[in-house]
Amino acid sequence: MNFNNSIESKKSKAKSCSELLLEFKRKEVGKEAKPQGVKLKFLGIGSKDVYNITPPFLIDGKIVIAGRVENREDEFNSEIYFFEQHGKDTWIKINDAPIFKLEDPFVATVGGESIVGGVEVSQPPLGDKDDSVTYRTIFYKGKSLNTLEKFTVGPAKMKDIRIIELENGHIGVFTRPQNGIYGRGKIGYIELNELGDLNPENILRAKIIENQFTPTEWGGANQLHLEKDKIGVIGHVACFDEEKNKHYYGMSFVFDPKTHTSSPLKIIATRDDFPIGKSKKPDRKDVIFLGGTDKEFNLYAGLGDAKSGRKPIDYPF
């Protein structure tokens, strides 16, 4: 993999979702058409939805996807299931695999072990004066699905924490603080000496990557790719429209840890790249949440907080 995105100057101005979307549509004009995305089918889960999936990964000698599973009318009782490939775009629940009461799974590999994580959501007791929902990221590690053990957690109210093992053996960590000066969410980065240093205190020390989002918009990292001394990031950029509908777009950029700068964000996929379908709520019709790509650059994504899809894309960086 050779990243072809140039690293941007710190002085560059963040582009809005509408500007990025316009650039994406212009680049698509005249380009050889890629096949339309397809919806994935999941077996063994009844009528429940599977969305916000990981890309396929190898574990226990199987090609596996982890996905967020829940009833259409409920988003506060999510679980992560593991599915084995059962055909090109069909996946079947692994019955003897663990089930985690978490949202939005992600995977990585560090030191030959699989890292699996997700977001733990806690609702306050009825009548509690502070009625805000709390959440944090939970990390597991192991060499097989049934040996995955919880080894650390992220700070309170932080999603989209992603890690990658660097060439020097250190751990690159992308974070997403929000509220206050961070607005609805910005991306930060910190390099740790080893996996044992991954803890809330160190995660909160991450330095923000400047000039990526406008003040009213937000985004986060979803999957990381390593090429020598740079990191390719696949993630999302998001905004509200005037009617408070959510719009999430798949994006990518290249990050240089040495200079703490990134290439310009660019959109690589939208909800329109996949077949039409129902969403969890009307305000999420234009939501796509990327899990990431496989080695052939098939992009795996959650669609409308209700379904999952796969689409071949061009080189994303």
**Residue range 223-258, pLDDT digits in tens:** 999 988 999 999 999 999 999 999 999 999 999 999
Beta strands in 193-287 (DSSP E): 207-208, 218-227, 230-240, 246-256, 261-262, 266-269
Per-residue pLDDT, 9: 47
Percent of the chain with pLDDT over 90: 86
Domains and CATH numbers, the chain: 17-312 (2.115.10.20)
Given a contact cutoff of 8 angstroms between Cβ atoms, the answer to whether 170 and 149 are in contact is: no
Which of residues 130 and 21 earns the better pLDDT score?
Answer: 21
Lowest-confidence pick of 28-32, 117-121, 248-252, 271-275? 28-32
pLDDT for 296 equals 94
Instruction: Let me know how many helices (H) and strands (E) the chain has, helices first.
Output: 2, 23
**What pLDDT band is residue 130 in, cutting at 50, 70 and 90?**
low
Predicted local distance difference test score (pLDDT) of residue 129: 54
**Surface-to-core class of residue 11, CB atoms within 10 Å of its CB (0-12 exposed, 13-18 middle, 19+ buried):** exposed
12-37 mean pLDDT = 87
Single pTM value for the model: 0.94
Mean pLDDT, the chain, rounded, equals: 93
